[in-house]
Amino acid sequence: MEAQEEKVFRRGRRIAVDVGDARIGVASCDPDGLIATPVETVPAGGRSQARIKAIVEEYDAIEVVVGLPRSLSGKEGPAAAKVREYAGRLAMLLYPVTVRLVDERMTTVTAAQAMRASGRNSKKGRSVIDQAAAVVILQSALETERVSGRAPGESVEPVS
């Protein structure tokens, strides 16, 4: 009889970011990683990484999960390249906090559907949609780790 591998879930808050051209949605989870909740929407651009760093410090996060946009077939395009570059710079800024890239296919669609189902107009709530997408990214990453016992996605190497 083979010994069954014990699945371990790392305790600690995580931050998720949904990087867009205009806005970056940010979400966090509780220390037990049970539920992700929206934090804020950060304007994309020059000061966005400094604000994310402040949020990571405020929440004493152990990890940052960045959604990596892929096509439905799993291919990466120009948007994914931009996110990879952003995540690399973020990893440098946040070191030693780990930054991980996770698949985010359909998260904005899922967030928009949830908003419509709750009676909210997605056009009026664009900043809320970005936060909701970050919640979907984080909740998915938490579930992946809980089921597999391993950190989700790929770790990002810091770049300057």
Alpha-carbon torsion 41, 43, 44, 47, what sign?
Answer: negative
3-31 burial, b if ≥16 CB within 10 A, otherwise e?
eeeeeeeeeebbbbbbbbeebbbbbbbee
What 3-state class would DSSP assign to 156? Answer: coil
- In CATH terms, 14-152 corresponds, of 3.40.50.1370, 3.40.190.10, 3.30.420.140, 3.40.50.150, to 3.30.420.140
User: Rounded distance, CA 140 to CA 138, Å?
Assistant: 5
Domain ranges in the chain?
A: 14-152
User: Rounded distance, CA 153 to CA 151, Å?
Assistant: 7
Q: Which residues have a Cβ under 8 Å from the Cβ of 127 and sit 6 or more positions away?
A: 23, 25, 41
Q: How confident is the model at residue 80 (pLDDT cuts 50, 70, 90)?
A: very high
Q: How do residues 109-157 score in pLDDT, each as one tens digit?
A: 555 555 556 566 655 566 688 898 999 999 999 999 999 989 899 999 9
pTM here is 0.85
